[in-house]
Amino acid sequence: MSDIPTIALVGVGGFGRQHLINIERLASQGRVRLAALVTGSGVAPLRGQVDPAVTTMAEAVPVYPTLDDYLAAGDPATVVVISTPIHTHTDLATKALRAGAHVLLEKPPTPGMADFTFLEEVVAQTGRIVQVGFQSFGSHALPRLAGLLASGALGELSGVGAVGTWSRAASYFTRSGWAGKREIDGIPVVDGVVTNPLAHAVATALEVAGATRSGDVAEVVLDQYRANPIDCDDTSAVLVRTAAGIRVSLGLALTAPRQSPPRVIAYGTRGTATLHYVSDALEVRIGGRTTTEQFGRTNLTENLLDHLADPSIGLLCPLAATGAFTTVLEAVHTAPDPRPVAADQVSWTRRDGDTWAVVERVEEYCERVAAEGRTFADLGAPWVTR
């Protein structure tokens, strides 16, 4: 018909809506054509799942219940965007790649290292591309921060921290059958704070520390708790040592009294740089003087399309660049169950018809994990149970 690349979106509910809005934006610029939607079997058709703003475009394309049905129709899209539950990623991405499509795969790419290695093999066999949806990897603040570190402006990098203190209601964990699960019927899901909602903090902190490939991580120490009635962690300290000897310390929680913007901090011997990876602001503090710079970001689907049109344009988050993150995920996947937060350290607040777990002083301890490179247990956090 035309040589405009085509896109099929798999998983249109939940975060898939954001992909649909983005695809509409790219379509309005003549960059892509939406070829198909795949909703998942047993899912009611489109209406109600798709934003009214993009319903017209979405309703003009064929809708399939499963990726198999779509691929059986022949002639797959140039790019298949996969925005489905974590435990479906490996299977769906493999099918799309083997059918000849490139893939934009939501994070976390796979629920374990075995699946990750398998998917890397499929990428190599098919010669197709998987770009992973860690959108902070498109932030223009990252090259600026890398430049500051390389120039020595911050002195020597002594460590990287991340603080993510979010607040999630009980309904967040009941919105889907897979939410908060470690596995379903023996299949890994690994949907805890470290590996899903604040996975961006983990992947971005590792990237700032120069660790992207699986071999870039030497050691992972976990200290994980849960206040909500879920299988996975919602309050975690993670300490990573990279192969180059950099310490990465993460204090992450969904149990804070309020939602704060998450941040990644590069600690240098002369100064610090704090990356607000949601808003792309970079705060640099050297010798008591703080400057803040605001950056933009490149959209990852757009970057994949640009790379396909001109391979000299580098991919911002290829599958291989999420190997270090997946090494942390694998440690979480194989770790013992998270321990319950001591009951007298959790308060339950009610607002907006929902219930919210708040762990005592969790913001303070997440800050300290990042700054001091110690776990909650080492810091003597009041909720630590043995």
Ligand X SMILES: NC(=O)c1ccc[n+]([C@@H]2O[C@H](COP(=O)([O-])OP(=O)(O)OC[C@H]3O[C@@H](n4cnc5c(N)ncnc54)[C@H](O)[C@@H]3O)[C@@H](O)[C@H]2O)c1
For ligand X, the binding residues (CB under 6 A) are 10-16, 38-40, 43, 66-67, 83-86, 88, 106-107, 133, 135, 175-176, 196
C-beta of 175 vs 270, nearer to ligand X: 175
Is 159 within 8 Å of 240 (Cβ atoms)?
Answer: no
C-beta of 38 vs 328, nearer to ligand X: 38
- DSSP class of residue 95 equals H
β strands within 51-191, DSSP E: 63-64, 79-82, 102-105, 130-132, 157-165, 183-184, 187-188
CA 146 to chain centre: 21
* Residue type at position 17: R
Residue 217 tokens read as 């991580």
| Least CB distance to ligand X at residue 151 (A) | 31
In the chain the first and final C-alpha atoms are separated, in Å, by 64
| Least CB distance to ligand X at residue 12 (A) | 6
With CB atoms as reference, the residue minimizing the distance to ligand X is 14
| Least CB distance to ligand X at residue 237 (A) | 21
| Least CB distance to ligand X at residue 115 (A) | 13
C-beta of 66 vs 298, nearer to ligand X: 66
Is 340 within 8 Å of 385 (Cβ atoms)?
Answer: yes
Is 154 within 8 Å of 286 (Cβ atoms)?
Answer: yes
C-beta of 284 vs 316, nearer to ligand X: 316
C-beta of 171 vs 176, nearer to ligand X: 176
| Least CB distance to ligand X at residue 6 (A) | 18
C-beta contacts of 48-55 below 8 A and 24+ residues apart: 49/12, 49/13, 49/16, 49/17, 50/12, 50/17, 50/20, 51/17, 51/20, 51/21, 53/21, 53/24, 54/17, 54/20, 54/21, 54/24
If you compute the radius of gyration of the chain from its CA atoms, what whole number of angstroms results? 21
Is 257 within 8 Å of 167 (Cβ atoms)?
Answer: yes
| Least CB distance to ligand X at residue 51 (A) | 13
DSSP 189-230: ---STTTTTTHHHHHHHHHHTT--SGGGEEEEEEEEEESSSS
C-beta of 4 vs 21, nearer to ligand X: 21
- DSSP class of residue 112 equals S
β strands within 83-142, DSSP E: 102-105, 130-132
| Least CB distance to ligand X at residue 249 (A) | 23
C-beta of 85 vs 159, nearer to ligand X: 85
C-beta of 149 vs 206, nearer to ligand X: 206
| Least CB distance to ligand X at residue 194 (A) | 12
